[in-house]
Chain A
Amino acid sequence: DIVMTQSPDSLAVSLGERATINCKSSQSVLSSSNNKNYLSWYQQKPGQPPKLLIYWASTRESGVPDRFSGSGSGTDFTLTISSLQAEDVAVYYCHQYHSSPLTFGGGTKVEIK
């Protein structure tokens, strides 16, 4: 199974500042057949289901603000919120869909400092 490890577990960032979340997979999620990273990022607010933000490691889902960006390849990935807004307070999860069983990171809680 591919283990997804996120860091930090939580972070507090001032409004308008940058937030960076890291995700490391125990095996590469890069496919040699199509050169795509099978890695997505979700945002989950209290009492709500997860919301897809990023897929293929760096493709922003339709309607997601451009302050959210994803980067990385192979086993190391990053979700960046360039200018934190109050509505971005949530838990963020990375997720690999390269191989079964699909697995999620443990989550990173983002709060306002």
Chain B
Amino acid sequence: EVQLVESGGGLVQPGGSLRLSCATSGFTFSSYWMNWVRQAPGKGLEWVANIKQDGSDQNYVDSVKGRFTISRDNAKNSLSLQMNSLRAEDTALYYCGGGVGWIITDWGQGTLVTVSS
């Protein structure tokens, strides 16, 4: 059974940092492009970043470039998102998801990030 479990969310002040993790099992992690997608409360889906199977290529939405860093550890089947200089508009449920190519076939349940003073 494919499983993706996000963790690391929480309440952080504006300007602060947070590191999200996604533990995976049930599929060949090293074969998947992996993504972070977020959803602000009551809003739609916004893709945040993705990373190639071997970690050699990463892409980001403009609003997080220079602040967020996506990374992966294929030995541990895990994905991470380091988030710095957080803003109120980064408040959202953050999903990790992956698939062969850029199609996101499998998703976790999400971890909530709240940026507020």
Residues of chain A having any CB pair with chain B under 8 Å: 1, 38, 40, 42, 44, 48-52, 55, 61, 91, 93, 95, 97, 100-107
A95–B37 CA distance with the chains assembled, in angstroms: 12
Q: Are A50 and B45 in contact (CB under 8 A)?
A: yes
Q: List 19 A-B contacts (CB under 8 A).
A: A44-B45, A50-B95, A50-B97, A50-B107, A52-B103, A93-B44, A95-B45, A97-B101, A101-B47, A101-B59, A101-B60, A101-B61, A101-B62, A102-B35, A102-B47, A102-B50, A102-B59, A102-B102, A104-B47
Residues of A within 8 A of B104 (CB): 40, 50, 52, 95, 97
Nearest chain A CB to B110 CB, angstrom units: 6
The 5 closest A-B pairs by CB, nearest first: A97-B102, A49-B107, A100-B59, A102-B47, A104-B45
